[in-house]
């Protein structure tokens, strides 16, 4: 451990002030990055999370060391960790095409609270290093993650009058490394001839040509109509 922090590891008025200021700085640094990207939890939210967690941790230490109460020194900190999950969950939303946004912000809020606990416990080295790694993950790693190619899932709408046609389509998807993550039957129509309608949600493991897929499925016996939905 760094000796420069030894004088402020005990719970005193000066160390309390310093810990809260460090919490404001570290939480603010993480929050600035989120605010810059217009995320729902930004500068002030991260500061409040970090400061609140720091106070909770210091309170637990104070009750045990100064008030000599028969309490678990880590009890308040443990409750903070649980509560952070509920707050972070509020930033996660589902947008169009069932895409999920806010996971990084939620994880950042949770980590920011843990950093606050570390500051409150006097583990300044861990808090500072943790903040640096969080900022690295949210900036540089975010840029690198955007460079990774993602094959977006899409839907195939099928209408067919031969039940074997669906098996042929599913076999074609499997042979071409396309995982069927969901199958939704939307019923059947036509009183004279049974026409089945199914929506397949497909996630390809490689880049695919949608037009080629449509042309192939169209040629399968029993297929009446097919189209892809993004």
144-156: pLDDT as tens digits: 766 665 677 788 8
List, in order of start, the domains of the chain with CATH numbers. Answer: 3-147 (no CATH), 154-229 (3.30.70.260)
The residue whose two tokens read 């589902």 is 94
pLDDT value at 43 more than 90 = no
**Mean model confidence pLDDT for the chain:** 84
Q: Which of 208, 227, 211 is nearest to 160 (CA)?
A: 227
In 56-131, the DSSP E strands lie at: 93-94, 100-101
Evaluate whether 19 touches 54 at the Cβ level (below 8 Å).
Answer: yes
The residue whose two tokens read 């404001």 is 24
Which pTM does this prediction carry? 0.67
Query: Which DSSP category does 99 fall into?
Result: -
What are the CA-CA distances from residue 172 to residues 19, 39, 54, 177 (Å)? 61, 41, 56, 9
What pLDDT band is residue 224 in, cutting at 50, 70 and 90? confident
Phi/psi at 158 (nearest 5 deg)? -115, 140
What pLDDT band is residue 123 in, cutting at 50, 70 and 90? very high
What are the CA-CA distances from residue 157 to residues 18, 192, 227 (Å)? 61, 22, 5
**CA-based R_g, the chain, Å:** 27
d(CA 112, CA 130): 9
Structure confidence by residue, pLDDT tens digits, 9-29: 888 889 999 999 999 999 999
């Amino acid at each position: 451990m760094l000796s420069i922090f030894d004088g402020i590891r005990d719970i005193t008025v000066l160390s309390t002030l310093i810990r809260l200021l460090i919490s404001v700085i570290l939480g603010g640094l993480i929050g600035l990055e989120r605010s810059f990207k217009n995320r729902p939890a930004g500068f002030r939210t991260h500061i409040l999370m970090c400061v609140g967690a720091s106070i909770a941790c210091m309170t637990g230490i104070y009750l045990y060391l100064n008030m000599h109460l028969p309490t678990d020194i880590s009890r308040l900190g443990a409750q903070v960790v649980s509560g952070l999950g509920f707050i972070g969950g509020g930033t996660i939303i589902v947008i169009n095409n069932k895409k999920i946004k806010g996971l990084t912000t939620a994880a950042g809020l949770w980590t920011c609270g843990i950093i606050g606990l570390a500051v409150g416990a006097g583990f300044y080295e861990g808090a500072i290093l943790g903040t640096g790694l969080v900022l690295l993950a949210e900036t540089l790693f975010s840029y690198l993650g955007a460079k990774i190619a993602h094959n977006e899932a899409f839907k195939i709408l099928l209408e067919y009058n031969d039940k074997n046609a669906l098996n042929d389509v599913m076999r074609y998807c499997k042979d071409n490394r396309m995982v069927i993550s969901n199958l939704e039957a939307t019923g059947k129509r036509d009183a004279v001839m049974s026409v089945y309608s199914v929506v397949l949600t497909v996630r390809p493991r490689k880049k695919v040509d949608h037009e080629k897929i449509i042309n192939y499925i169209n040629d399968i016996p029993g297929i009446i109509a097919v189209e892809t939905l993004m």
